[in-house]
């Protein structure tokens, strides 16, 4: 099967840590024998103006590669443009979180841009032949009149060869961390307010006030191949986000058997269910500190890796391939939603 993948998240020379999970997903599909072509929309490098040339570039790729299906690997304006431009073959769109949930904690300008992106996502979802969401929480943000049969919940997979338990002391030595402090890892990504770094700092301050020798480390811009070192050097991973889809850092931490303290966001509750040494907390500094103290008093590792079999890169690629095949088989040209307008915003 020939597939054209369209994404605005992908590792580049300027941003090597961006969209690593998209790159891995594409590689997993190629290993199954799919013939994949890539159209990269350089949003971070060029800004919003990059979307003005998507339709032209897309038509060129369609003519040259003649794919049987187009997979847009993030929502927003990009997905809307692709779903409107491609009318003679099926389009699948994956939604990851903010592209359907918005950014309510951001500043005014960013909130407005995110709102416009959500509207575009809802329209793209209605026009698409198939929709992938990374969690049930993201599914609930889809238009109410979207046929359930064309939606699949498929979280992004994990490279279980890369993310695995490593010697903690060696990892700390490599990062020049103190061997004995309680190291807390917090992924801040690109500094988005939705991650609530102030809440993470407040939780650490509250834990220190109660006698825990905690140190907060912010994971940002670290190449993916080095992230396992940071994870294995850490005593715990802390997540305080306002909303998420299916946070990769949680799955990566579990693959390394790292304890996790998180607010109830995205699919985290599902991921942590039944794993001793991992805790859900209220989005309050005191309760987060309570859970950090529980981790400090418990085992230094958890049994998280054994829960991730179905989230290996191979298993996720198989599920996507099966969804592609079903979408192509069931697709009928011209069968779009009657209005192609979102039921709610």
110 neighbors 102 (Cβ within 8 angstroms): no
Rounded mean pLDDT of 217-232?
A: 94
Statement: residue 289 has pLDDT above 80 = yes
- What domain count does the chain have? 2
In which element (H, E) is residue 263 found? strand 260-263
173 and 78 assigned to the same domain: no
Question: What CATH number is attached to the domain comprising 84?
Answer: 3.40.50.2000
Q: Is the separation of the CB atoms in 302 and 278 below 8 Å?
A: yes
Domain co-membership, 12 together with 151:
yes
Asked whether residue 260 falls in the same domain as residue 199, the answer is yes
In a domain, 340, yes or no: no
Query: What is the predicted pLDDT for the residue at 323?
Result: 98
Q: How confident is the model at residue 110 (pLDDT cuts 50, 70, 90)?
A: confident
Q: pLDDT digit string (tens) for 133-186? A: 999 999 999 999 999 999 999 999 999 999 999 999 999 999 999 999 999 999
pLDDT of residue 291: 98
Residue with tokens 């969804």: 323
**Which range marks the domain in which residue 139 is found?**
2-157+312-330
* In a domain? residue 234: yes
Of 129, 130, 132, 137, the closest CA to residue 154 belongs to 132
User: Is residue 74 in a domain?
Assistant: yes
pLDDT score recorded for residue 301: 96
**% residues pLDDT > 90 (the chain):** 79
Is 61 part of a structural domain of the chain?
A: yes
Question: Looking at the structure, do residues 302 and 316 belong to the same domain, yes or no?
Answer: no
Residue 189 has pLDDT above 80, yes or no: no
Rounded Cα distance between 273 and 174, Å, is 32
Same-domain status, 70 and 176: no
Residue 19 lies in a domain: yes
Amino acid 345: pLDDT: 31
In this structure, are 303 and 226 located in the same domain? yes
Geometric angle at alpha carbon 155, from 117 and 160, rounded to 5°: 130
Residue percentage of the chain with pLDDT more than 70: 96
Is the pLDDT reported for residue 343 higher than 60?
no
Q: Let me know whether 283 and 323 are in one domain.
A: no
Residue 112 has pLDDT above 90, yes or no: no
Inside any domain, residue 149:
yes
Residue 339 lies in a domain: no
pLDDT tens digits, one per residue of 267-276 = 999 999 999 9
Q: Is residue 299 part of a domain?
A: yes
* pTM over the 0.85 mark: yes
122 lies in the same domain as 87: yes
**Same-domain pairing of 150 and 177:** no
| Secondary structure of 105-143 as H, E, C letters | CCCHHHHHHHHHHHHHHHHHHHHCCEEEECCHHHHCCCC
279 with 316, same domain?
no
Three-state secondary-structure class, residue 248: helix
Instruction: Say what the pLDDT of residue 335 is.
Output: 58
Q: What is the pLDDT of residues 85-103, one digit of tens each?
A: 999 999 999 999 889 988 7
pLDDT at 202: 98
Query: Both 11 and 79 in a single domain?
Result: yes
Give strand pairing partners of 265.
none
Assess whether 10 and 142 both reside in one domain.
yes
Reply yes or no on whether the pLDDT at 341 is more than 50: no
* Res. 338: pLDDT tops 50: no
Taking residues 8-25, what's their average pLDDT? Answer: 86
């Amino acid at each position: 099967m020939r597939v054209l993948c369209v994404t605005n998240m992908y590792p580049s020379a300027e941003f090597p840590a961006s969209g690593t999970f998209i790159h891995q997903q594409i590689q997993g599909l190629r290993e199954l024998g799919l013939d994949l072509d890539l159209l990269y929309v350089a949003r971070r490098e060029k800004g919003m103006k990059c979307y003005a040339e998507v339709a032209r570039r897309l038509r060129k790729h369609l003519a040259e590669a003649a794919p049987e299906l187009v997979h847009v690997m993030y929502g927003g304006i990009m997905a809307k443009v692709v779903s409107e431009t491609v009318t003679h073959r099926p389009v699948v769109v994956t939604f990851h979180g903010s592209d359907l949930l918005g950014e309510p904690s951001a500043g005014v300008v960013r909130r407005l841009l995110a709102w416009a992106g959500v509207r575009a996502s809802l329209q793209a979802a209605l026009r698409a032949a198939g929709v992938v969401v990374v969690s049930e929480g993201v599914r609930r943000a889809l238009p109410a009149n979207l046929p359930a049969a064309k939606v699949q919940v498929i979280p992004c997979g994990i490279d279980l060869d890369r993310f695995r338990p490593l010697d903690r002391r060696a990892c700390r030595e490599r990062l020049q961390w103190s061997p004995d402090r309680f190291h807390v890892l917090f992924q801040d990504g690109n500094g988005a307010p939705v991650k609530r770094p102030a809440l993470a700092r407040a939780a650490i301050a509250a834990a220190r006030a109660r006698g825990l020798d905690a140190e907060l480390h912010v994971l940002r811009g670290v190449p993916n191949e080095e992230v396992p070192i940071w994870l294995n050097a850490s005593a715990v991973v802390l997540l305080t986000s306002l909303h998420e889809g299916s946070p990769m850092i949680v799955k990566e931490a579990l693959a390394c058997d790292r304890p996790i303290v998180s607010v109830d966001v995205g699919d985290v509750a599902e991921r942590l269910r039944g794993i001793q040494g991992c805790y859900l907390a209220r989005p309050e500094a005191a309760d987060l500190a309570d859970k950090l103290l529980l981790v400090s008093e418990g085992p230094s590792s958890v049994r998280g890796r054994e829960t991730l079999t179905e989230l290996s890169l191979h298993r996720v690629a198989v599920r996507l391939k099966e969804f592609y095949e079903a979408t192509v088989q069931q697709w009928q040209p011209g069968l779009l939603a009657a209005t192609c307008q979102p039921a709610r915003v």
